[in-house]
Every structure is written in C-alpha cells, then in structure tokens.
C-alpha cells in the first residue's frame, strides 16, 4: 500500500535509505532532515513494514524533485519503486506542478517512466540550494532527468 508518511515512520524511512547511502548511491538523510521534510514522503507499506520510500520536494515555481527513492533489497523488482514514482507524479499533478526532475545514478530507470536526461545547469535553483551542502559539490556525478507532467501520464 502506498500512503503518505506518518511521524512514526521516520526511523524506518531512514533505515530503508541507509544501505543506498552507505554505498554512495544516494545522499544520506538524517533523522532531522526526514522530520523536516516528512510531508514530502510517500511510503510503501506491506504487512506493517516499510518496503520503500520516495519524496516529492517542491523546489521552485512549477518545479519539484523526486528524491530519496529507495526500496529495501528484498522488495526490488516488485514494482515498488514504480508505484512510488507514480504517487509522486500524481501529487505533482494535483499541485499543478508542470515539471519534475530527479538527480540519479540510474537515469535509465527514470527514462522508463517518461523522464528525459537534461543538463544539470538547467536546474539553477536546485544547484544553489541543496547542492551547496552536498559532499560531492561541485563535482556531482549524478545525472539530471526531467519530465513535463502536463504532457505525460504514466
């Protein structure tokens, strides 16, 4: 079941993200950061256990980011990530946000959902907000992908 995150989900959200962050495949999220951005998160829950997480973070007028997409290892390949991305895109539509982007090491995953690769330089608000605090700045090796959601429905 996909649902918005509850305050009691925060430790489990961090636990799902942690293995990916430890391998350098995504940025780590502190408990403080997750609490601060809890309203951004969707979770996939099965039998009372969180199996996946994803957040839609509004970054600017008509622009939002999909971030922290993570699925516990035992649940990969079961379309959990796809359903989480779809939930984020649906919320963006509901909010009348026309463009959604992600920074990723796996652009082909997002391309299967209708995203296309773009130059990160076209995302100035993203670069100057979160990226300034990233340990990889200014040598980011993630790829930027974007979808115009007014034109595409997964």
The pLDDT score that the predictor gives to residue 134 is 61
The pLDDT score that the predictor gives to residue 112 is 93
From CA 103, how far away is CA 146, in angstroms rounded? 9
By three-state DSSP, how is residue 95 classified? coil
The pLDDT score that the predictor gives to residue 94 is 95
What global pTM score does this model have?
Answer: 0.88
The pLDDT score that the predictor gives to residue 153 is 46
Which H, E and C letters describe 31-78, residue by residue? HHHHHHCHHHEEEEEECCEEEEEEEEEEEECCEEEEEEEEECHHHCCC
Task: Answer for the pair 42, 54: CB distance below 8 angstroms, yes or no.
Answer: yes
The pLDDT score that the predictor gives to residue 75 is 86
Per domain, the residue ranges of the chain are: 2-148
The pLDDT score that the predictor gives to residue 135 is 63
CATH class of 2-148: alpha beta
The pLDDT score that the predictor gives to residue 154 is 44
- Nearest Cα to 136, choosing from 54, 21, 56, 37? 21
- pLDDT, averaged in runs of 10, over the chain (154 residues): 97 97 88 97 96 94 93 89 97 95 93 93 65 62 88 47
By three-state DSSP, how is residue 85 classified? helix
């Amino acid at each position: 079941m996909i649902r918005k995150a509850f305050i009691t989900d925060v430790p489990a959200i961090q636990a799902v993200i942690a293995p990916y962050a430890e391998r350098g495949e995504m940025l780590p999220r502190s408990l403080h950061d997750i609490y601060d951005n809890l309203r951004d998160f969707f979770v996939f829950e099965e039998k009372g256990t969180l199996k996946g997480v994803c957040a839609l973070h509004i970054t600017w007028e008509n622009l939002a980011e999909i971030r922290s997409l993570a699925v516990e290892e035992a649940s990969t390949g079961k379309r959990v990530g796809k359903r989480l991305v779809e939930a984020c895109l649906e919320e963006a539509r509901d909010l009348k946000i026309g463009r959604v982007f992600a920074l990723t090491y796996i652009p082909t995953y997002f391309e299967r959902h209708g995203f296309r690769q773009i130059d990160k330089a076209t995302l100035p608000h993203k670069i100057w907000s979160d990226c300034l605090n990233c340990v990889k700045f200014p040598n980011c090796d993630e790829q930027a992908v974007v979808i115009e959601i007014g034109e595409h429905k997964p």
